[in-house]
Amino acid sequence: MDIQGMEVFAVAVVILMFVMVLKQFGMTEAQSLDDSADRDLELSMVRHQPKGLEQLQAQTKFTRKELQSLYRGFKNECPSGLVDEETFKSIYSQFFPQGDATTYAHFLFNAFDMDRHGSIRFEDFVIGLSVLLRGSVTEKLRWAFSLYDINKDGTITREEMLAIMKSIYDMMGMYTFPYVRDAAAFEHVEKFFQKMDRNRDGVVTIDEFIETCQKDKNIMSSMQLFENVI
């Protein structure tokens, strides 16, 4: 895979993972909706009570009915109202039996768990989902950047990108031997930095990341792939 293809894959894989989670939760299937869904969302008896429907509608780009459907699926899979990291990892592992999705799922989990509570709430999930499925290109790229910026210091280092690339290869089961995986990941990271690190200071800032991606037609096309999954 060349560097352009790898960049598209690395960015688009974030959105693709959400489509898989949606299918796991049964959210992409049509569901009958009635006023009881409003009551469920407003008067939930689960351990964590999410924000009200109107507040979430204002914070996302989902309609009232879409939020009702999303919440029903989320509550069916997670009656406590919270998704812990082990549950999150188990969901991803089901889709990648040929590989090991645990490390990538860890990074993705942390991108959602911004408050470091150790769990993902419904509002965390649906707000992030709204960005990835309905947000502007810039919003989607900012979210992707936050995933790659593992320590949340505002820059992507080679070490961080290398960790992400290794986790993607592990998830896809692309290489049997770790040294082959590491060599391939290192090569892609170097090419990534050659293109993204415009001032050659050894790190990629969010401005460099967004500017470079916005000039790449393939990446821009990948941002539109999953806008109508729900």
* Domain residue ranges of the chain, discontinuous segments joined by +: 3-28+51-222
- Is pTM beyond 0.85 here? no
Beta bridge partners of 119: 84
Backbone angles phi, psi at 94, to 5 degrees: -65, -30
Q: For the CA atoms of the chain, what is the radius of gyration?
A: 18
Q: What is the pLDDT of residues 29-49, one digit of tens each?
A: 434 444 555 555 543 434 555
| Choice among 17-26, 93-102, 146-155 with the minimum mean pLDDT | 17-26
Question: Residues 101, 171: contact at Cβ < 8 Å?
Answer: yes
pLDDT band at 230 (very low <50, low <70, confident <90, very high): low
Indicate the pLDDT class of residue 204, thresholds 50, 70 and 90.
very high
CA distances from 35 to 29, 41, 93, 126, 139 (A): 19, 10, 35, 20, 32
**Residue 112: pLDDT above 70?**
yes
DSSP 49: P
Given a cut of 90, is residue 151 above it in pLDDT? yes
User: Which amino acid is located at 58 in the chain?
Assistant: A
d(CA 183, CA 166): 10
- What pLDDT does 205 receive? 98
Which CATH number applies to 3-28+51-222: 1.10.238.10, 1.10.3720.10, 3.20.20.70, 1.10.375.10?
1.10.238.10
